[in-house]
A and B are shown apart, each in its own frame.
Chain A
């Protein structure tokens, strides 16, 4: 049933945008497409209709990420995300009864093995080897009862594409796109995963995640620099930890910790499901109710405690690695929805986006000190975050030179208002970006999840656009003066190791 209040709101919003100038376009295109429905167990479902190609994309997120971890269990959210693909008591197995016995034994042996390994140099090497061998023997025994990757098999057969998941600082998301006639299959599979996930092959998958960390972080100088940088910019708040987890934590997380994590956070009341494409909500909602409706509501997630204390002095990090230099410079700032967050988005655009941005013209094109400079808010939106500049100097120029150039531009923003043309340009572009994001099922799903899951209401996408539209030159100057200060600054350089003399 269309909500009459929503139609009136859309009209007001349209009028508001038109009053600001012809370049800003109304967001009716999204509002009109969305139907929201909440189950009794707290699961929020958002449908957005697009009846072009007979396909639909799904994206569902749990409000849990690396920010909910602490040292000792960093990387658990991500590892759990991997484990969610291993099936249920019926999917992925030939005989769950036999598996269960072996899995219980694997849990115990695995825990003992992990505990002994964690002793490092003091570990009993024979005991470690013995337990590892026992673990391998049990895993081999269990593998006889496993139907490998049956989730993948089922979706592939059905013509599914893009089966994947991702863990971030704030959230963990699961996605699959399917032909439009497979809606019931989707509901069956995902409701079973949420309710009945079996964490089989845990220790093998832990090894995969170890390789993932090596491939995506340890072998990538920019990512390593990012880890050093975050660790310095945040000294208390868990935004300081990498999503994939510290290597030693990946090595020691146990099956029980992964299961406890699931019970705490993988609940319908902590979940938002977006379904975008050739779907009809009136027909789809009863199917969703049938499959997801009887998943028991879980506990409310724990109240988050740690607040990052105010930074009272510059922090500098020097990271030596065999790679070309890079730099990061970040400043603490409030998150969405705030004037400051909108000002930051507009400032990032004016300074670094496009060939007409100030830093491109000066630092990349004219002085050629760097080959890239970018800026933006990171690493998450649930909590106060950072405004970060990243740059790659152009040889033979140094990070010092690029830093100095960036600071010159920051000083200029503090003393001279930006021009009306620059502001207008940015708003035209952010508006167009929004429209472009509506051109794919997945793009729409991302918008819906981001606002519903992380900010509590999908309609807040509108608030974001309003905040951006309202940013003035004074707001940018205030933002720069308040937040882009020396005391609030963390700077990290990646430089080559000094040659031994």
Chain B
């Protein structure tokens, strides 16, 4: 043995005494196990019924617990708002719930629901409005009475509109306190365009422009029996569901649903770097360009690509390289996302400021590598196994199943989409992934939005190319209105 090897060994032994070696009692590895027994799985599916007035209802019986959940989906979210009234969909949803109806006050409804531990809540999303109700099974009829009344006959009183508006205004003030939220808002604005239905956001001016008549009009545009899809899951029979829902929605007239399609999105990303100073310890990053339409022909290839790139937990390239190997972040994710028109191709992370420029380079290297070299056999196998073997978790709870199937139906997926899903994933090849990476990812084109303190970065951003500075304080000031 060479001399320094002896020294090293002695040193190693000495240090080994500091850290007692584990007794090697039967240390195990999963490769010791044989193949698992087969999994027996039958995909649960809802039954469908249609009410006399045309409302479609999904139904799943679940007798485990004395609960009922009702899910209502309507096409009509923020992308259908007038541009100068951003925030209308969410205000309509909130005040629909809080404002009561023509025959019941909002506060009285609160009292009635909360006493029996029942809930009805409404949310205005980008594409859909959602109304969710829940109660103990014994109160199902009462729940549906109130639920249907709110949907059909909301009163939209001014005082509740003012309250909701004031709460939204405060929410806007506070959004600037969250650096990762700021980076997300700025990214959407730059990616889709500040006036685009997908990129604009509620501001004091747009909220203040919304009056009661706007809520009434928006409600009228979307709340109609043939625009409402309902789902009921819980300890109630099909007969009870039909009878109670027919009674609750009795007399609801059909109305013409008036939703103009927003203009198609156009790619605006041009490699610009946007920097917004905020005194915060990390660099809050969003980068990307436009992604894909949902239900597109390459969706299964993208599913596997995304899993490998930035969606599959610690085994994903982004997490592995930036967190696990180098400790540059607590969390990073990304992928080619689907949307109604087009989702984003994006990467998001909160990164160690002192290594930010290095991290940005690494991310782009990872993208380019996927476009140049096929992924390894192990990677594609793990991604496909993960997706296929965890598929059963999409069916853990009936409310979850029902919600997914309703959404798929509304979004125009084939009825056998889920049945065919696993086979479609199985078909994806390494070549598919390489081609999808080339087709759908363009690292030179990505816009970069970073919120943080450039003085803490490893190199100035200007070393990467032209930088547009966003003055957050000026943005906030310009948008602010006098306080009520």
List chain A positions with a Cβ less than 8 A from chain B: 25, 29, 50, 52-55, 85, 88-91, 100-101, 103-105, 107-108, 143, 148-149, 152-154, 156-161, 163, 177, 179-182, 184-185, 188-189, 191-192, 195-196, 198, 201, 204-212, 214-216, 218-221, 255-256, 259, 291, 294, 322-324, 354-356, 361, 365, 368, 371, 392, 394-396, 421, 424-425, 428-429, 431-433, 435-436, 438-441
Q: Please, what's the 1-or-0 string for B9-36, where 1 marks a CB less than 8 Å from any CB in chain A?
A: 0011001101101101111111011001
Selecting from B61-69, B192-200, B363-371, the interface stretch reads B61-69
Residue of B nearest to A104 (CB): B15
Cα(A425)–Cα(B163), bound, Å:
25
Query: Quick check: is B184 within 8 A (CB to CB) of the other chain?
Result: no
A161 engages B393 (CB within 8 Å): yes
Q: Is the CB of A219 within 8 A of B282?
A: yes
Query: Among residues 157 to 172 in chain B, which have CB atoms less than 8 Å away from a CB atom of chain A?
Result: 163, 166-167, 169-171
CA distance A216 to B350 in the complex (A): 10
Q: A153-B382, A211-B330 are in contact. Are A101 and B12 (CB under 8 A)?
A: yes
CB under 8 Å from chain A, chain B span 237-263: none
CB under 8 Å from chain A, chain B span 178-214: 178-180
Q: Which chain B positions have C-beta within 8 A of A438?
A: 64-65
Contact between chains at B115 and A207 (CB < 8 Å): no
Q: Are A221 and B110 in contact (CB under 8 A)?
A: no
With known contacts A152-B315, A161-B393, A395-B170, A181–B39 Cβ distance under 8 A: yes
Question: Which residue, of A107, A189, A256, A355, has the highest number of chain B Cβ atoms within 10 A?
Answer: A355
Across the interface, do B390 and A159 meet the contact criterion of CB distance under 8 Å? Answer: yes
Contact: A424 with B115, CB < 8 Å?
yes
CB atoms of A184 and B12 under 8 A apart? no
- Given the known A-B contacts A148-B325, A156-B312, are A395 and B18 also in contact in the complex, defined by CB atoms under 8 Å? no
- Indicate if the CB atoms of B331 and A215 lie closer than 8 Å: yes
A216 & B390 in contact (Cβ 8 Å cutoff): no
Contacts of A323 in B (CB 8 A): 174, 177
Residues of A within 8 A of B30 (CB): 91, 154, 185, 188-189
Query: Are A354 and B110 closer than 8 Å at their CB atoms?
Result: yes
Q: Which of A177, A188, A435 contacts B136 (CB 8 A)?
A: A435
Question: Which residues of A have CB within 8 Å of B389?
Answer: 157-159, 179
- The reply to whether B330 and A208 contact each other, CB–CB distance below 8 Å, is yes
Knowing A395-B483, A396-B483, A431-B117 are in contact, say whether A204-B12 is a contact too (CB < 8 A).
Answer: no
A431 to B397, CA, bound (A): 21
Residue of A55, A256, A439 touching B19 (CB-CB under 8 A): A256
If A149-B324, A355-B110 touch, whether A192 touches B18 (CB-CB below 8 Å) is no
In whole Å, how far is B286's beta carbon from the nearest beta carbon of chain A? Answer: 15
Interface flags, B94-132, vs A, CB<8A=1, else 0: 000010000000010011001111000000000000000
Q: Knowing A104-B15, A189-B30, A428-B116, say if A181 contacts B37 (CB, 8 Å).
A: yes
What are 25 A-to-B residue pairs whose CB atoms are below 8 Å? Answer: A52-B64, A53-B41, A54-B40, A90-B29, A104-B15, A105-B11, A107-B15, A156-B312, A156-B315, A158-B385, A177-B393, A179-B392, A184-B36, A211-B327, A211-B351, A214-B282, A256-B19, A354-B110, A361-B107, A368-B163, A371-B170, A371-B171, A395-B173, A435-B65, A440-B397
Q: Determine the residue in chain A with the shortest Cβ distance to B390.
A: A159
**In this complex, what residue of B is CB-closest to A101?**
B12
CB distance from B26 to the nearest CB of A (A): 8
CA distance A148 to B321 in the complex (A): 10
Set of chain A residues within 8 Å of B173, measured between Cβ atoms: 324, 395
- In the complex, what distance in Å separates the CA atom of A42 from the CA atom of B238? 49
Contact for A192 among B27, B117, B282, CB less than 8 A: B27
Cα A217 to Cα B331 in complex, Å, equals 14
Find the B residue at minimum CB distance from A353.
B114
Question: In the docked arrangement, what's the CA distance between A179 and B67, Å?
Answer: 26
Closest Cβ of chain A to B296, distance in Å, is 25
Residues A219 and B166 in contact, CB atoms below 8 Å apart: no
B330 surroundings in chain A (CB, below 8 A): 208-209, 211-212, 215-216
Q: A149-B324, A179-B39, A185-B36 are in contact. Are A157 and B174 (CB under 8 A)?
A: no
B329 interface residue, CB < 8 Å from A?
yes
Cβ-defined contact, A156 with B174, below 8 A: no
A416 to chain B, nearest CB (A): 19
Q: Does B419 interact with chain A (Cβ within 8 Å)?
A: no
B116 contacts A196, CB within 8 Å? no
A160 with B390, Cβ < 8 A, contacts A148-B320, A368-B166 known: yes
A322-B39 contact in complex given A105-B11, A212-B330, A294-B25, C-beta closer than 8 Å = no
| B483 lies within 8 A of A188 (CB) | no
Indicate whether B2 reaches chain A with its CB closer than 8 angstroms: no
Q: With the chains together, A41 CA to B262 CA distance in Å? A: 65
Contact with A along B362-393 (1 / 0, CB 8 A): 00000000000000000001100110111111
B279, CB-defined interface residue at 8 Å: yes
Cβ of B433 within 8 Å of any chain A Cβ, yes or no, is no
Asked if B427 is an interface residue, CB under 8 A from chain A, the answer is no
Q: How far is the CA of A158 from the CA of B134 in the complex (A)?
A: 34
B328 interfacial by beta-carbon distance below 8 Å: yes
